[in-house]
């Protein structure tokens, strides 16, 4: 079956994609996801249905779906596939259906083919596959903005740096700065670089318990996007970072000036599309804190803590505790905030995360300041337990 949409033609039988008369290389699973979405275009296709149709009996995480959907959006536009929260995905672009098969590279088969011809045919086939692969990489890179990268520092050492080499995102290497030099005066350095490097990525990689933790920051013209990723190897870390940053919505948030409320709305949509992405969830919680929607922020911070414990990511557990402490400080619940913060600091120290440890100490300093300077409109006091059974009492705030 042929599907004609915009200037693309997709053969659902051979899983071949053309743009005009040019073959567009597309990964096998991406093509299968596209086939399912087109064949069921009138329905919302659930994640379970996609997993069954594309990956069948293979054990994969939902992240595989998110990555394939993101790559298809990079090819066809963000509006081509709509996400329905907790339901699934639906194809949105109008198309026409044809019956003829696509044969971008005709192959003639004789009844008796000399061995030499078979060897030549095999070689041409290999070259064709290689050409299609690099064609796909080229196509994605041409539709996605380039990201300039300062080589990542490894365990705080700028000399033993790690270069990020994604397969589907075009990159430029910045050798004029090390990570510590760039971050030392980030705003000023970005201003100097942005004419040639509109998107600048820096990162620190630390090792702990045979795992690699990347703390990264992507700086654009409007804002910064930071987060943490945990992996078992440098290569896996690079792949996770690429799968995360390939989202065009993230680039829009970094490059476009918008009000705080609009940013929250966009982050909420992004979270619904990638509900298991811890970086996006951290960003959404921080945005709710900035807009003083503290109850929603606390609900999401609790979710982050639960998910981090379930997926055994102690670093994200520590981040959740730090966010909870920040919210509780804003709400005036200082003793409970201090309890959360103490646990966060212990986890950051355990995993040698000195950057986030510095953030935690800054939060601790602000908490101590808030405890000393209490608004006159409120009388806050801590109940001193008279007996051991009262020792779990944390704090009472009374507004007069």
Tokens 């703390």 locate to 215
CA gap 359, 315 in Å, rounded: 14
CATH of residue 343's domain is 1.25.40.10
Residue 320 shares a structural domain with residue 383: yes
Flag whether 175 is in a domain.
yes
Domain span at 222: 145-257
pLDDT, residue 108, reads: 31
Q: Which residues contact 26 (CB under 8 A, 6 or more apart)?
A: 15, 17, 34, 75, 136
Flag whether 292 is in a domain.
yes
Residue 8 shares a structural domain with residue 139: yes
Residue 8 shares a structural domain with residue 76: yes
CA gap 211, 276 in Å, rounded: 20
Q: What is the pLDDT along the chain (400 residues), one digit of tens a residue?
A: 888 998 889 888 888 888 877 778 788 888 999 999 999 988 999 988 888 888 886 777 777 888 888 889 888 888 899 988 888 999 999 988 876 544 433 333 333 334 444 454 455 554 554 555 445 444 444 467 899 999 999 888 877 788 888 888 899 999 899 998 998 898 999 999 989 999 999 999 988 778 899 999 999 999 999 999 999 888 899 999 999 998 889 999 999 998 988 899 999 988 988 888 999 999 999 999 999 999 999 999 999 999 999 988 889 999 999 999 999 999 999 999 999 999 999 999 888 788 888 999 999 999 999 888 765 434 443 434 444 444 343 343 434 3
Residue 24 shares a structural domain with residue 83: yes
pTM value > 0.75: no
CA gap 147, 199 in Å, rounded: 5
Residue 156 shares a structural domain with residue 139: no
pLDDT, residue 388, reads: 45
pLDDT, residue 301, reads: 94
Flag whether 264 is in a domain.
no
pLDDT, residue 100, reads: 54
pLDDT, residue 64, reads: 81
Residue 32 shares a structural domain with residue 80: yes
CA gap 242, 4 in Å, rounded: 30
pLDDT, residue 379, reads: 41
Residue 12 shares a structural domain with residue 115: yes
Flag whether 262 is in a domain.
no
List the Cα angle 372/378/384 in 5-degree steps. Answer: 65
């Amino acid at each position: 079956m042929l599907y004609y949409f915009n200037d693309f033609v997709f053969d659902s039988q051979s899983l071949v994609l053309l743009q005009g008369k040019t073959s567009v290389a597309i990964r096998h699973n991406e093509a299968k996801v596209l086939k399912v979405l087109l064949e069921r275009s009138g329905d919302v296709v659930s994640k379970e249905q996609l997993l069954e149709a594309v990956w069948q009996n293979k054990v994969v995480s939902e992240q595989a779906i998110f990555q394939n959907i993101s790559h298809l959006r990079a090819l066809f536009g963000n509006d081509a596939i709509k996400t329905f929260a907790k339901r699934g995905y639906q194809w949105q672009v109008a198309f026409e259906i044809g019956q003829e098969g696509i044969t971008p590279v005709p192959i003639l088969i004789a009844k008796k083919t000399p061995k030499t011809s078979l060897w030549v045919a095999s070689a041409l086939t290999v070259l064709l596959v290689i050409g299609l692969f690099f064609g796909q990489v080229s196509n994605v890179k041409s539709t996605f903005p380039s990201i300039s990268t300062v080589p990542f520092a490894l365990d705080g050492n700028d000399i033993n740096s790690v270069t990020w080499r994604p397969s589907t995102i075009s990159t430029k290497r910045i050798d004029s700065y090390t990570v510590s030099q760039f971050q030392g005066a980030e705003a000023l350095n970005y201003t100097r670089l942005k004419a040639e490097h509109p998107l600048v990525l820096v990162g620190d990689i630390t090792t702990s318990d045979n795992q690699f933790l990347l703390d990264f920051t992507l700086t654009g013209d409007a804002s910064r996007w930071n987060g943490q990723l945990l992996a078992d190897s440098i290569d896996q870390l690079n792949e996770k970072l690429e799968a995360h940053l390939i989202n065009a919505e993230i680039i829009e948030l970094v490059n476009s000036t918008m009000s705080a409320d609009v940013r929250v709305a966009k982050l909420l949509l992004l979270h619904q599309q990638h509900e298991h992405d811890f970086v996006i969830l951290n960003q959404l919680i921080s945005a709710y804190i900035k807009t003083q929607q503290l109850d929603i922020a606390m609900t999401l911070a609790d979710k982050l803590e639960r998910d981090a414990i379930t997926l055994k990511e102690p670093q994200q557990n520590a981040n959740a505790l730090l966010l909870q402490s920040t919210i509780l400080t804003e709400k005036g619940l200082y003793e409970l905030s201090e309890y959360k913060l103490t646990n966060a600091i212990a986890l950051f120290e355990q995993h040698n995360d000195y950057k986030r440890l510095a953030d935690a100490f800054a939060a601790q300093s602000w908490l101590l300041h808030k405890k000393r300077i209490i608004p006159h409109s409120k009388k806050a006091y801590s109940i001193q337990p008279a007996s051991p059974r009262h020792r779990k009492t944390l704090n009472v705030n009374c507004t007069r």
